[in-house]
Amino acid sequence: MTDHDLAPEVEETAEAIASMEVRGAATIAGAAADALAAQARATDAEDADEFRATMRAAGRRLHETRPTAVSLPNTLRYVLRRMDGADAATVRENVLAAAAEFDDRLDAAQDDLGQIGANRLQDGDTIMTHCHSTDALSCVEAALDQGKEISAIVKETRPRNQGHITAEALREMGVPVTLIVDSAARRYLDEVDHVLVGADSIGADGSVINKIGTSGLAVNARERGVPIMTAAQTIKLHPETLAGHTVEIEMRDEAEVIAEDAREAIGEVTVENPAFDVTPPRYMDAIVTESGQFPPESIVTLMRELFGEGATEPWAET
Ligand code: RI2
């Protein structure tokens, strides 16, 4: 518990992220930056240190919502490291400028990686998607802008069926869509030219942490000889993995897997609901970021460049 006054927008955003009303790593990042800006506007502390302490409390509230997507702590790092100032008004100004700059960079990064990812797609390609990733869809949108015709086989992505969101977004772009159940993926890979997924976190060894089912899809794609790429802005790079930490995999509510009455009808069973899995780098052909395309094993060079100073936790200080 904190005794700092948190802005209602911070509490609302935290609840929306936890319930997945706001979801997708990039969207979570943008919402967190906006919530910090709202906190900066709402805080009436006149002392600069007190102002910073309230901002950090807001950061802690946002940080505790979902553990796997590193875009959330990376957003908090970006904004909360820029709280210099001898008086509260200057700190507020710096926080608002940092949050606005972060939002701009987020949009630009997605556009830039889309251009790079689109270059991997050929006119007439059929792609296969898993879950819903705005970074992945940016590659498709850019390919269409380049005049390429793309069609898609979309995995529904149990248990929350986020493939439906992808299907709708692709249809809005005019892309022909075939929706399949997850277990049909291997059967349809023979008809696929490129598998395209997003990421919630990327490890220093090039591991891709993405929606549960990605690793099985990647292994099947490799076995079928179908290239697979991850579209991930650099805010998906997990700085703590540079120091050997592993990425925590979020376990979600069992009710997402099976309704209570159906579960009761079965009898005593254990239900597990991991939201993400880890695809080893050897099963991924490329990680596409706004800074270029990387073989997964070489992503560490970019991570050292970006996070050379290591992973601080500016929200942790009370
Ligand atoms: P963008 C999603 O997680 C999916 O796993 C998706 O691949 C990833 O976030 C990245 O999404 P969830 O929040 O940042 O739906 O590319 O659990 O939009």
315, part of any domain = no
Q: Residue 47 sits in a domain of what CATH number? A: 1.20.120.420
Q: Are residues 302 and 158 in the same domain?
A: yes
Higher-confidence position of 287 and 314: 287
> Which whole number is the average pLDDT over 130-138?
98
Is 225's pLDDT higher than 50? yes
Q: Are residues 105 and 123 in the same domain?
A: no
316, part of any domain = no
Q: Are residues 176 and 291 in the same domain?
A: yes
Task: Please answer whether residues 197 and 136 qualify as being in contact, where contact means their C-beta atoms are separated by less than 8 angstroms.
Answer: yes
For residue range 73-130, list pLDDT tens digits in order: 999 999 999 999 999 999 999 999 999 999 999 999 999 999 999 999 999 999 999 9
- Ligand 1 centroid to 148 CA: how many Å? 25
Task: Please answer whether residues 127 and 192 qualify as being in contact, where contact means their C-beta atoms are separated by less than 8 angstroms.
Answer: yes
> Which whole number is the average pLDDT over 285-303?
97
18, part of any domain = yes
283, part of any domain = yes
Pocket of ligand 1 contains residue 198 by CB under 6 Å:
yes
For residue range 270-280, list pLDDT tens digits in order: 999 999 999 99
Pocket of ligand 1 contains residue 277 by CB under 6 Å:
no
Is 40's pLDDT higher than 90? yes
| 3-class SS letters over 7-67 | CHHHHHHHHHHHCCCCCCHHHHHHHHHHHHHHHHHHCCCCCHHHHHHHHHHHHHHHHCCCC
> Which whole number is the average pLDDT over 3-25?
94
312, part of any domain = no
Is residue 155 classed as helix, strand or coil in its secondary structure?
strand
Is 1's pLDDT higher than 50? no
Alpha carbon 1 to chain centroid, angstroms: 27
200: annotated active-site residue? yes
Is 311's pLDDT higher than 90? no
49: annotated active-site residue? no
The residue from 34, 112, 125, 200 that is catalytic is 200
Q: Are residues 85 and 171 in the same domain?
A: no
Q: Are residues 15 and 135 in the same domain?
A: no
Q: Are residues 46 and 185 in the same domain?
A: no
Q: Are residues 161 and 275 in the same domain?
A: yes
Q: What is the pLDDT of residue 2?
A: 46
**Where is the domain boundary, 51, 76, 111?**
111
**Where is the domain boundary, 63, 93, 111?**
111
Higher-confidence position of 38 and 308: 38
314, part of any domain = no
Residue with tokens 């930056």: 33
Range of the domain at 159: 119-306
- Ligand 1 centroid to 26 CA: how many Å? 7
Is 313's pLDDT higher than 60? yes
Is 254's pLDDT higher than 60? yes
- Ligand 1 centroid to 76 CA: how many Å? 18
Q: Are residues 97 and 124 in the same domain?
A: no
Is 31's pLDDT higher than 60? yes
For residue range 152-203, list pLDDT tens digits in order: 999 999 999 999 999 999 999 999 999 999 999 999 999 999 999 999 999 9
Q: What is the pLDDT of residue 308?
A: 78
318, part of any domain = no
Q: N- to C-terminal Cα distance for the chain?
A: 12
Tell me how crowded residue 146 is: count the other CB atoms within 10 A of its CB.
13
Probe target for ligand 1 pocket from 72, 132, 247, with the most ligand atoms within 8 Å of CB: 132
CA nearest 239: which of 70, 32, 60? 70
Check: pTM over 0.85? Answer yes or no: yes
Probe target for ligand 1 pocket from 113, 211, 278, with the most ligand atoms within 8 Å of CB: 211
Give the chain's domain count: 2
CA distance 124 to 148: 7
**CA nearest ligand 1 atom 6, residue:** 133
160, part of any domain = yes
Is 12's pLDDT higher than 60? yes
- Ligand 1 centroid to 51 CA: how many Å? 32
Q: Are residues 16 and 89 in the same domain?
A: yes
Q: Residue 185 sits in a domain of what CATH number? A: 3.40.50.10470
